[in-house]
């Protein structure tokens, strides 16, 4: 999971992209970068760590031009290194690209590009898309000036070859800004506009909140398979390049996106309120009792508020979060994650002692975090802990960019709910149902539920083994 921003028409482009990246920092903390372009060349600054740590006024001043793209990275395929930081660039034609998602047929495309004598230097799938697009454009024209028709025709071939999830923003030097999204719309991407002193600016972003903060008005979510190209004169052209069945990743609403973002016209905050109501239904059906409702901060908080109202188990923030420690799910290894959880959460004993607690969290992936939190609460005197997950059981790996890409790391892949309940030390465990999830998100069920059902929106069968092996191998090297 990563975050991307793309802007054209701004005399302050690097500063605006920098602001946008700060807003979507929660989508990746491993590395960050910006590429801009003027009429001469591309300018790139990228490196490890947080946006606020890596960038300074000096670096931003080096990023010239009026269009550019930025990226915050959370590693999926590829190693945790500067080599794989984005945006990535290529010289023929001159382009810089930022990508959010994951390519399923990476090895196949790597081999194809090698045969085309295109070198792939990083271990990052953004480079595959970048080099494929460059190759396809060069097949069509050697002219440096590109029209939208050429770019869209090249993209048709790219989308025909790439299997996976991708939302992409790219700056095409001396031409314009390009944004596109995979045919199923798995990863989010919005498009917006603003006017400043008679200057029109356009922007792409992974989340609407970035456009809000930069004062852009959201025009739309890109359609699945849609590409939008804005040329240097700010003419906007769009086309649906290839469309499949909509399959928006439900994890965005459950965990990843900020609650103040709106994805596909569904407010993340409102969906989380709905998820709490859906869990409360199950509570009533099962005749549970508890003294208090406590969220696992922050992603369980919104659902816990409606859960508490509907069940009358009064709302108490019995777990306190240290805001200066990063998100545990996106820490690269289990060992780092374990230490971080202790640093990150602390119970308020006066709220927990002798209480029966309904604990609301967004999901259970590996089970380690849930086990540790329940242990914390029990050691803080909780009489009972009844665990509620706003996501249904995650039984199958995600090959589209969320970091559980092997069966082995998913506690629900081979354990029954009663076994998981025992394993994490809960007095009871209640998962959201798939129907409840679909009702909470809305969108007539047009969401990806592959990690719940094993039914993937793209062909994954022949790639599974390789993908899981690669990820397991990367883990052992981390
Ligand atoms: S498999 Fe699950 S986590 Fe991955 S894209 Fe689909 S819904 Fe999201």
437 lines ligand 1 (CB under 6 A): no
Flag whether pLDDT at 474 surpasses 90: no
Query: Which residue would you say has higher pLDDT here, 115 or 325?
Result: 115
Encode the chain in three state secondary structure.
Answer: CCEEEEEECCCCHHHHHHHHHHHCHHHCCCEEEEEEECCCCEEEEEEECCHHHHCCHHHHHCCCCCEEEEEEECCCCCCCCHHHCCCEEEECCEEEEEEEEEECCHHHHHHHHHHCCCCCCCCCHHHHHHHHHHHHHHHHCCCCCCCHHHHHHHHHHHHHHCCEEEEEEEEECCCEEEEEECCCCCCCCEEEEEEECCEEEEEEECCHHHHHHCCCEEEEECCCCEEEEEECCCCEEEEECCCCCCCEECHHHHHHCCCCCEECCEEHHHHHHHHHHHHHHHHHHHCCCCCEEEECCCCCHHHHHHHHHHHCCEECCCEEECCCCCCCCCCCCHHHHHHHHHHHEEECHHHHCCCEEEEEECCCCCCHHHHHHHHHHHHCCCCEEEEEECCCCCCCCCCCCCCCCCHHHCHHHCCCHHHHHHHHCCCEEEECCHHHHHHHHCHHHCEECHHHHCCCCCCCHHHHHHHHHHHHHHHHHC
pLDDT given for residue 408 in this prediction: 83
Catalytic site positions: 2
Query: Ligand 1 within 6 A of 329 CB?
Result: no
Q: What whole-number percentage of the chain has pLDDT above 90?
A: 80
C-alpha to C-alpha distance for 110 and 332, rounded to whole angstroms: 25
Nearest to 327 by CA among 299, 291, 367: 299
CA distances from 30 to 43, 261, 324 (A): 21, 22, 16
**274/187 Cα distance (integer angstroms):** 22
- How confident is the model at residue 338, as a pLDDT? 62
Check if 251 has its Cβ closer than 6 Å to any atom of ligand 1.
Answer: yes
Q: Give the separation between CA 135 and CA 126, rounded to whole angstroms.
A: 14
Q: How far is the CA of 163 from the centre of ligand 1 (A)?
A: 14
Q: Is the CB of 253 under 6 A from ligand 1?
A: no
CA distance to 65, 255, 354, 401, per residue, from 430 (Å): 53, 18, 22, 26
> What pLDDT digit, counting tens, does each position of 279-333 carry?
999 988 887 889 999 999 988 999 999 999 999 999 999 999 887 775 555 555 6
Ligand 1 proximity of 450 Cβ (cutoff 6 Å): yes
Whether the CB of 441 sits within 6 Å of ligand 1: no
Query: pLDDT at position 477, please?
Result: 45
CA angle 132, 138, 140 (to 5 degrees): 110
pLDDT, tens only, 429-471: 999 999 999 999 999 879 999 999 999 999 998 988 887 777 6
Q: Could you tell me the distance, in angstroms and rounded to a whole number, from the CA of residue 138 to the centre of ligand 1?
A: 34
pLDDT tens for 235-273 read: 999 999 999 999 999 999 999 999 999 999 999 999 999
> Of ligand 1's atoms, which has the minimum distance to the CA of residue 250?
7
For residue 404, the ligand 1 atom closest to its alpha carbon is 3
Greatest mean pLDDT among 66-80, 133-147, 314-328: 133-147
- How far away, in angstroms, is 398 Cα from ligand 1 center? 5
Return d(Cα 402, Cα 256) in angstroms, integer: 9
Mean residue pLDDT of the chain comes to 92
For residue 167, what are its two tokens?
Answer: 């939302």
> Does residue 337 have a pLDDT over 70?
no
Pocket test for ligand 1, best of 163, 400, 404 (most atoms within 8 A of CB): 400
* Closest C-alpha residue for ligand 1 atom 5: 249
What pLDDT shows up at residue 464? Answer: 85
Band (pLDDT 50/70/90 cuts) for residue 478 is very low
Q: How many of the other CB atoms lie within 10 Å of CB of 113?
A: 18
**pLDDT (tens digit per residue) in 402-416:** 888 788 889 999 999
**What pLDDT sits at residue 81?**
59
> How remote is the CA of residue 396 from the centroid of ligand 1, in Å?
9
Q: What is the pLDDT of residues 79-89, one digit of tens each?
A: 555 778 999 99
Q: For residues 86 and 336, give the distance between their C-alpha atoms in angstroms, rounded to a whole number.
A: 24
Instruction: Flag whether pLDDT at 168 surpasses 70.
Output: yes
* Residue with CA nearest ligand 1 atom 4: 398
- The rounded distance, in Å, linking the Cα atoms of 35 and 169 is 11
Quick one: average pLDDT of 174-192?
Answer: 98
Residue 80: per-residue pLDDT: 56
In sequence order, which residues have a C-beta less than 8 Å from that of residue 40 and are 6 or more positions away?
Answer: none
């Amino acid at each position: 999971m990563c975050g991307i921003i793309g802007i054209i028409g701004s005399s302050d482009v690097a500063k605006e992209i920098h602001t946008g990246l700060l807003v979507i920092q929660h989508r990746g903390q491993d590395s960050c970068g910006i590429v801009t372009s003027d009429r001469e060349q591309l300018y790139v600054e990228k490196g490890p760590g947080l946006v606020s740590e890596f960038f300074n006024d000096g670096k931003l001043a080096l990023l010239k031009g009026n269009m550019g793209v930025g990226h915050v990275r959370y590693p999926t395929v590829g190693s945790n290194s500067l080599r794989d930081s984005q945006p990535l660039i290529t010289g023929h034609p001159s382009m810089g690209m930022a990508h959010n998602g994951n390519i399923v047929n990476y090895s196949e495309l790597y081999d194809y590009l090698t045969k085309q004598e295109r070198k792939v230097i990083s271990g990052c799938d953004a480079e595959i898309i970048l080099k494929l697009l460059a190759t396809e454009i060069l097949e069509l024209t050697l002219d440096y000036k590109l029209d939208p028709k050429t770019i869209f025709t090249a993209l048709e071939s790219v989308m025909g070859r790439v299997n996976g999830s991708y939302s992409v923003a790219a700056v095409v030097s001396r031409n314009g800004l390009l944004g596109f999204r995979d045919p199923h719309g798995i990863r989010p991407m919005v498009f917006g506009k603003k006017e400043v002193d008679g200057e029109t600016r356009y922007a792409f972003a992974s989340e609407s909140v970035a456009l809000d903060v930069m004062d852009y008005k959201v025009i739309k979510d890109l359609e699945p398979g849609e590409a939008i190209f804005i040329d240097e004169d700010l003419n906007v052209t769009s086309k649906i390049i290839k469309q499949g069945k909509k399959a928006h990743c439900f994890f965005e609403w459950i965990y990843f996106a900020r609650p103040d973002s709106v994805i596909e016209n569904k407010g993340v905050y409102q969906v989380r309120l709905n998820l709490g109501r859906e869990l409360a239904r199950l509570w009533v059906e099962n005749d549970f009792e508890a003294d208090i409702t406590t969220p696992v901060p922050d992603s369980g908080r919104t659902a816990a508020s409606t859960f508490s109202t509907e069940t009358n188990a009064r709302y108490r923030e019995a777990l306190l979060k240290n805001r200066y420690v990063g998100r545990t799910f996106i820490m690269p290894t289990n060992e780092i994650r374990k230490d971080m959880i202790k640093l990150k959460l602390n119970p308020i004993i006066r709220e927990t002692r002798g209480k029966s607690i309904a604990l609301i969290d967004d999901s259970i992936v590996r089970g380690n975090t849930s086990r540790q939190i329940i242990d914390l609460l029990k050691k803080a005197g909780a009489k009972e802990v009844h665990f509620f997950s706003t996501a249904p059981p995650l039984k199958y790996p995600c090959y589209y960019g969320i970091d559980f890409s092997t069966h082995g790391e998913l506690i629900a892949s081979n354990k029954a709910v009663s076994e998981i309940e025992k394993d994490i030390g809960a007095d009871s465990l209640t998962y959201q149902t798939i129907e409840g999830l679909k009702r909470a998100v809305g969108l007539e069920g047009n969401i990806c539920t592959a990690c719940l059902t094993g039914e993937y929106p793209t062909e994954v069968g022949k790639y599974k083994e390789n993908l899981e092996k690669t990820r397991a191998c990367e883990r052992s090297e981390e």
